[in-house]
A and B are shown apart, each in its own frame.
Chain A
């Protein structure tokens, strides 16, 4: 089943790059949803089927992963976007073309790091670790390069997906309680962020996070000086 998992990981990398280049929120939600499904599917594809079918743990975790990351979270995001009445990321801090180039650069760097670390002996698939790094990097980049609160959440989810791919890639087994706990955390996180987005859009009549810059010491001190002058 190695080849199937490698096709999946290649598609995963493709979704990262598409995510960096899209300005339409609905499309971004669909892309993270696709990533969620792939995160769920990956452990099944990496499973050594010659040793027999996987047990209850693997099936449950795969199903819950797909359900939470592929269905529930995109739904929550879509709901929040509709409540806040936004469809597009119009003026990102880094343009979409440039973002896509950055995503390519991150992917290239991830493969270089993966090669330098000589980790292939310990992992299930040679592609898994570089793809995980690329996804984490792209996610973090999106959090920094986008202005809308909701697109930052999308970036965060991509980052989280990258970590999940890394976990599957090194064949880590935590046990079912931990895996479900992690998913619960991610779910609650997006839930709380959704409520926050709703309140931010009501208070600021916008969800551009560059409005969220009144705090911070350099700024506060400068304002104090102006008042004194």
Chain B
């Protein structure tokens, strides 16, 4: 999985970075004007943003496991100042939690890395298992898997919108890649243990996210919990991918060494889920930033009636919500369908129930925001602010239609439909 994932993540991270950089040029000056208060100098913001991108590329391309650790820790350090761009009590608290929780998590990952490296010299399965457990706790913290996700909603809701988008769309994937790389050096005897833990954390993440989304009052936190949910689905998909034996009839995934691992269909679903979740979440976070600038609040209860006062953003918000919840033609529909069909019944049933709760929570919030009674009039934003999220949503719908058509054609050719 690693070589394929590396290529895709490089392209994805670069695209997201460009999108967020462009939006930063619009968002940051406007946000200075509207929110007032103290903020960090622009040159520090942009330096940190570029350094953040650099650190993520370093993490994706890191040649060895310990260097991977150095790179992932570096992403925490250069992204932390970005969260406290506006120096408010809330943003400082979010930054402090982010840096302390993630650094301790990542410290555990370093300990896990040492255990795994030692296991590679002695060949002890117990050390491999212990190492993987620590690595999963460590990089799982950074990836936002429950119960280590506590920093994520705070950081994502307090950071400026382009930074939230980059954290959610790009950073979480880099940490996932770290977990994938460690999972792939595990010996076969440790496999069932590793997949079991991954599966448990994945399902727990979806469940925790669902619980906290139902009564969520803040739309940026809602999106943050949606990221926890999708990271849970990604972890679940990966565990299932590693568990399911390769079947040439469903396609196979071949590693760089020519070794066949995992199920082709689930591998494809995993990649597609990562890519489309990141793009959709970026569009949503950027749109959320515009709503925050227009209304001056993140409260769902105050941002109502977009359909009559901000028509463009109303369309963006409802389209983005449906796409992230996996309504066709969203690709996430196909990937979640793949998960449900390939998993054992109890996992499928659990995931379906949880996804339904998430869907209900998100759509309820979105419908209120789009069609509710106008509570306060927004200060209008220049039209240009909607450009980047609009392009992303249009591309996602087009991509979704194309991907679905291809998948249907493929299934018809294979006679499985």
Contact surface of A with B, Cβ cutoff 8 Å = 122, 136, 140, 143, 149, 152, 156, 159-160, 163, 166-167, 170, 172, 174, 177-178, 181-182, 184-185, 188-189, 192-193, 195-196, 199-200, 203-204, 209, 212-217, 220-221, 224
Contacts and interface: CB of A to CB of B under 8 A. Distances in A.
B221 A217 contact: yes
Contact of B81 (A122, A156, A189, A192): A192
| Secondary structure type dominating chain B contacts | helix
A73 to B, nearest CB: 14
Nearest to A188: B77
Interface string B74-113: 1011001100100111101111110110011001001100
Interface stretch (B64-72, B195-203, B262-270): B64-72
B341 to A, nearest CB: 33
Contacts of B90: 214-215
Nearest to B124: A122
Interface residues of B, number: 44
Given A189-B73, A192-B99, A199-B84, A166 B92 contact: no
Contacts of A156: 100, 103-104, 107
A174 B121 CA distance: 13
Contacts of A167: 114
B118 A170 contact: yes
A178 B67 contact: yes
A181 B70 contact: yes
A215 B158 contact: yes
B172 to A, nearest CB: 19
A166 B114 contact: yes
Given A122-B122, A178-B70, A203-B89, A212 B97 contact: yes
Residue among A143, A174, A178, A215 having the largest count of chain B Cβ atoms under 10 Å: A215
Given A188-B74, A192-B77, 5 more contacts: A122-B122, A160-B107, A163-B111, A199-B84, A199-B92
Contacts of B99: 189, 192-193, 196
Contacts of B117: 172, 174
Contact of A224 (B74, B77, B217): B217
**Which 6 A-B residue pairings sit nearest by Cβ, starting from the closest?**
A181-B70, A212-B93, A178-B66, A185-B73, A215-B154, A188-B77
A203 B96 CA distance: 13
Interface of B: 64, 66-67, 69-70, 73-74, 76-77, 80-81, 84, 87-90, 92-97, 99-100, 103-104, 107, 110-111, 114, 117-118, 122, 150, 153-154, 157-158, 212, 215-218, 221
A214 B100 contact: no
Contact of A122 (B67, B89, B118, B215): B118
A212 B103 contact: no
| Secondary structure type dominating chain A contacts | helix
Nearest to B94: A215
Contacts of B218: 220
Given A172-B117, A196-B84, A212 B96 contact: yes
A203 B215 contact: no
Given A196-B95, A217-B153, A217-B212, A163 B70 contact: no
Nearest to A204: B89
A192 B80 contact: yes
B131 to A, nearest CB: 12
A178 B64 contact: yes
A140 B70 CA distance: 21
Contacts of B73: 185, 189
B107 A159 contact: yes
15 contacts: A143-B100, A167-B114, A189-B103, A193-B99, A196-B92, A196-B96, A200-B96, A212-B96, A214-B89, A215-B97, A215-B157, A217-B153, A217-B212, A217-B221, A220-B221
Contact of B93 (A166, A192, A195, A215): A215
Contact of A136 (B70, B111, B118): B111
Nearest to B299: A224
B93 to A, nearest CB: 4
A221 B299 CA distance: 12
B77 A203 contact: no
A129 to B, nearest CB: 11
A143 B108 CA distance: 14
Contact of B104 (A159, A195, A213): A159
A193 B84 CA distance: 12
Contacts of B114: 163, 166-167, 170, 172
Contacts of B89: 203-204, 214
B215 A221 contact: yes
Contacts of A160: 107
A185 B97 contact: no
A163 to B, nearest CB: 5
B74 A185 contact: yes
A214 B93 contact: yes
A193 to B, nearest CB: 6
Given A152-B100, A220-B217, A163 B93 contact: no
Contacts of B221: 217, 220
B81 to A, nearest CB: 7
Nearest to A213: B93
Given A122-B118, A178-B70, A182-B69, A163 B110 contact: yes
Nearest to A207: B96
B196 to A, nearest CB: 22
Contacts of A215: 90, 93-94, 97, 153-154, 157-158
A212 B88 CA distance: 11
B92 A200 contact: yes
A172 to B, nearest CB: 6
